[in-house]
Amino acid sequence: MNPSERRCPIVLIPSLEPETALITYVERLRQQGFEHIIIIDDGSGDDYRHIFSALEQGGATLLVHEHNQGKGAAIKTGLRWIKEHAPQSFSIITVDSDGQHTVPDVVNMARAAAENPEALVLGQRDFSSTETPWKSSFGNKVATVAFAVLHHVHLADTQTGLRAFGQELLDDMLTLPGNGFEYETQMLVMAVKRQVPMVPVAISTVYENDNGGTHFHPVRDSISVIKALVGTLFSFSLSSLVCAGVDLGLAWALFAVPLVGLPMHGYTHILVATGLARVISIALNFLINRTLIFRHQASVWPSLVKYLALSATLIVLSSTGVYLLSLVGVAVALGKAICDCVLFFLSYRVQQSWVFASPRRSR
């Protein structure tokens, strides 16, 4: 890439116990016009100090964690430095330090970032080869399937470390939870929620020494990634259970007390008690989902109208489903359980993508 043709992004490289080949790699990046390179030593220790010293002497900015904090923490350390010191016109490319990302691929990512300044650009590897190390294949397949199921977005490579984005996303990136590999998954979840376009760029599938340089633990880190993916769904489930308990508890309590002018346990008494309990539980569920689960910050009234419309629709769908199942011999109680389980996931998806969706970013 000719620097005169396009301003080169800042290259951010989190690194733990790198090989000496990283020195040559960074020099090749500089030869392609990448003048701003930030290396984060994520607690590699004294045995690797000579490598980082050589990188710093070669012109890279070196940031050091005294102790290992994780890949996500290292990336955020670099992003904080960029926010404080770098011109906002520069975009950012994150690159792994284990030799997986070729210099030509980084150049292509820079071009894609310049052409898509509002997007999160993702380098996408091809995992179909039988030569793909099982660690990489296993972790990526687990995350890809989970991400597609939960967020209805298919990405061939959810675990790619080669990513590019503009500084408009810096604040979002800095507030994401996670300090390990799950941080990169949180980045994708954020992009879906904030409706940030995700642009895939095909890159080479490279594994040095059978990917022996990776610090990804196939079980532990896969669990962390899945937790990052299902965290919102788990919280949504907990919110639903709490509000269902409130609904049932209030109804029972109101059944036990006389209501003014209503005969105890008459139809009107039961109807009013049930209605009051449901109104309170719906209001509580709306507040919890809006403020704690989906963290919706737009005006409350449009989301409230959408939420009430969804609630009414779910009641109709549930009633209709129970009735139709009863026609084919399914007991009403079982039919209700089946319908509500299915509608639970529909409710989650609609609340995530419509009721509490973040405003679409202007292009």
What is the count of structural domains for the chain? 2
Instruction: Judge if pTM exceeds 0.75.
Output: no
Question: In the block, which residue shows the tokens 């409706």?
Answer: 195
In-domain check, residue 138? yes
Rounded Cα–Cα distance for residues 259 and 85 (Å): 66
Q: Is residue 312 part of a domain?
A: yes
More confident residue, 85 or 150: 85
Residues 165 and 304 in one domain: no
**Residues 321, 351: one domain?**
yes
What is the number of other CB atoms lying within 10 angstroms of the CB of residue 316? 9
Same domain? For 182 and 269 the reply is no
The mean pLDDT value of the chain amounts to 86
Same domain, 210 and 265: no
User: Does 226 reside within a domain?
Assistant: no
Q: Do 50 and 190 have their domain in common?
A: yes
pLDDT at 152: 82
Domain that holds residue 103: 10-218
pLDDT computed for residue 1 by the predictor:
47
The answer to whether residue 224 is domain-embedded is no
Say if 80 falls within a structural domain.
Answer: yes
Q: What is the percentage of the chain residues whose pLDDT exceeds 90? A: 50
- Judge if 98 and 41 occupy the same domain: yes
Q: Are residues 212 and 267 in the same domain?
A: no
Question: What type of residue sits at position 72?
Answer: G
**Span 258-273, mean pLDDT?**
78
Q: Are 293 and 239 contacting, i.e. CB atoms less than 8 angstroms apart?
A: yes
Task: Give residue 210's pLDDT.
Answer: 52
For residues 195 and 248, give the distance between their C-alpha atoms in angstroms, rounded to a whole number. 37
Query: What pLDDT is recorded for position 205?
Result: 82
Tokens of 38: 């930030």
Q: Is the pLDDT of residue 330 over 60?
A: yes
**End-of-domain residue from the set 195, 218, 241:** 218
Identify whether residues 214 and 258 lie together within a single domain: no
3 domain residue, yes or no:
no
Place of tokens 């997986």: 100
In a domain, 350, yes or no: yes
What pLDDT does residue 265 have? 72
| pLDDT mean over 317-346 | 89
Is residue 276 domain-shared with residue 196, that is, in the same domain? no
- Could you tell me if 209 and 238 lie in one domain? no
**Same structural domain, 55 and 204:** yes
In a shared domain, residues 113 and 254? no
* Within-domain flag for 189: yes
